Structure 1
């Protein structure tokens, strides 16, 4: 009797399991469809850039717009890259972004370590004040910063763009602080007992154990400085020193004379480094953000 009861129970559970499995498949299918649709929407501007870069200047303003140029003018890329020294501008951007990235990593990680593992009076109040600086609009700081850098003779150099990064970024400090607080406190205490000072602990223990968060910070810093237009526009005057963000403005012109096809072709080439950096580092970026967020949720 017991065996027969078990058999009947298993038969009754089998359709329920099948229904649950079917519901899971339907749910995953819906999610995948939504993700594909969202991907197409977000990729729309990039696809439009590609379409515009392959058109003639006359076809750019045609209405209704031409989605698939026939024939596609791949020669626009050659013309765009020779008309303006795009590769020179990209080289300037690479050098500038690497130096700024080093400044962001060193300064923000050092300050974040102090807020995470160094106990001092009014630490939380100071940390809140640091975060509060993110609410100050950049437009308010432009004039006093420009006057300061002009008095130092730094105009038309990269110093106004690089030196401030060695004084920390509030958002990056917050991100790294949350990641550093997720490290086991016992490691820090054991290092102190062994006679290690804070700089040694920061360099030899905290940084090696926080590679995902550091990778996320590096990606954010690189992409921000690569796309930054306001800073170079204010401080740089010499054409040979332009980064790619400012160099692309040479394709623009007043009174509707902008060469949109050339601008889109050069812009596609200009975003290649950001795409490469993102695709090769997205795993570390997501992992670093998740670590910081989990720690924030734990602290409430």
Structure 2
């Protein structure tokens, strides 16, 4: 009887299906050269972001401090708190009463627009001549244009003043922008490099179709250089908006002051040697800086495109 039971148990055990076992989990393969390179790139990206963030904070901190100080009373201007302990709008009311900021902003806007437009057009015309036309001595003349960039501004300061004084323009806004009618060596170089990257066959086809030389430049070449023209215009806007030297030389009456010259007068009146009302000076500085920030944010895409395309095509 026991033998039958053992035989039945053995047959039952043999009839059971074998347990299903899945494949063993794959072990992670050791990182190869590609994995190590990917890890290095990821680490480099993180380090770059950290470095850029730190640099951005360093450059941004002075302006944040300036904005914060403009909302502080006189006694708290230099307490180095980014969040004012005593918040006040009185500084923005007082600065408009103490100085004709509206007139200074208008004068600066007029000079800036005229200077930016004239230097952009004149530099583009000269750059087009050096890039498109073939004539004897072209390289030598272009070298002379670039050589003017090596002359310090102090060398031509007195002769330029004597010219404007002989023309009776000292004390007016004209000397601050009219010199741009003759172009700028740096902008000529920048635009020439861009023009050289444009397909010459396009201009020759336009000439065959009957377009004049001026038509080729104005209707075809100039629209194709939009990013580079935007770079030139924004650079000039920044240069003219912050130009103090020429304003100090040529402007006499406060009614003709530009923003830099007006801020200099505020420093003289309320800063060193004055009444030490630094809250007025920092508030005026904030008001006059905001337009440049707006211009940059509106044109930053064109600036990046213009610099990148000029570098690639040059």
Name the structure 2 match of 1:292: 310
Aligned-pair Cα RMSD in Å: 2.2
**C-alpha distance in 2 between matches for 1:95 and 1:256:** 30
For the 8 Å contact 1:252–1:259, the answer to whether it is kept is no
- Would the aligned equivalents of 1:226 and 1:245 in 2 still touch at CA under 8 Å? yes
Aligned to 1:275: 293
Distance 1:276 1:67, change over 3 A: closer
Q: What's 1:7 paired with?
A: none
Q: Provide the rounded CA distance (Å) in 2 between the counterparts of 1:275 and 1:73.
A: 23
**Long gaps (5+) in structure 2:** 1-26
* Match among 51, 70, 83 for residue 68 of structure 2: 51
**Which residue of 249, 263, 273 corresponds with 1:255?**
273
Report the number of matched residues: 286
> Are 1:33 and 2:32 counterparts?
no
Aligned counterparts of 1:150 and 1:34: Cα–Cα separation in 2: 51
CA distance in 2, matches of 1:120, 1:260: 59
Alignment of 1:100-179 (within 5 A): 100-179=115-194
Q: Does 1:97 align with 2:115?
A: no
Secondary structure, in 3 states, of the residue corresponding to 1:154?
A: coil
Q: Alpha-carbon deviation of 1:251?
A: 1.6
Distance change in 2, residues 1:144/1:17 (3 Å)? closer
Equivalent residue, structure 2, for 1:5: none
Match for residue 221 of structure 2? 206
The answer (yes or no) to whether the contact 1:52–1:264 under 8 Å persists in 2 is: yes
Q: Quick one: structure 1 residues 258 and 167, their matched pair in 2 at CA, closer, same or farther if it must change by over 3 Å?
A: farther
**SS of residue paired to 2:273:** coil
- Encode CA deviations 1:62-97: one digit per residue, 9 max, x unaligned: 6xx444431123321221233211122111111111
Bigger Cα displacement from structure 2, 66-75 vs 186-195 = 66-75
- The CA deviation at 1:239 is 1.1
Kept in 1, the 8 Å contact 2:227–2:305? The answer is yes
Would you say the 8 A contact 2:69–2:78 is kept in 1? no
Instruction: Say whether the 8 Å CA contact 1:229–1:245 is kept in structure 2.
Output: yes
Match of 1:238 in 2: 253
Partner of 1:265: 283
Cα separation, 2, equivalents of 1:86 and 1:258: 19
**TM-score, normalized by length of structure 1?**
0.88
Q: TM-score, normalised by structure 2?
A: 0.84
- 8 Å CA contact 1:251–1:258 kept in 2: the answer is no
**1:125-144 deviations in whole A, cap 9, x for unaligned?**
11111011111111111111
Residue 177 of structure 2: SS of its match in structure 1? Answer: helix
Q: Distance in 1 between matches of 2:37 and 2:144?
A: 51
CA 186–268 in structure 1, closer or farther in 2 if over 3 Å, else same: same
Q: Which has the higher contact order (CA 8 A, sep 6+)?
A: 1
SS at match of 1:271: helix
Q: Which one has a larger percent helix, Structure 1 or Structure 2?
A: 1
> For 1:200-229, what per-residue CA distance to the aligned partner results, in whole angstroms no more than 9, with x for missing partners?
111011001110001111101111111111
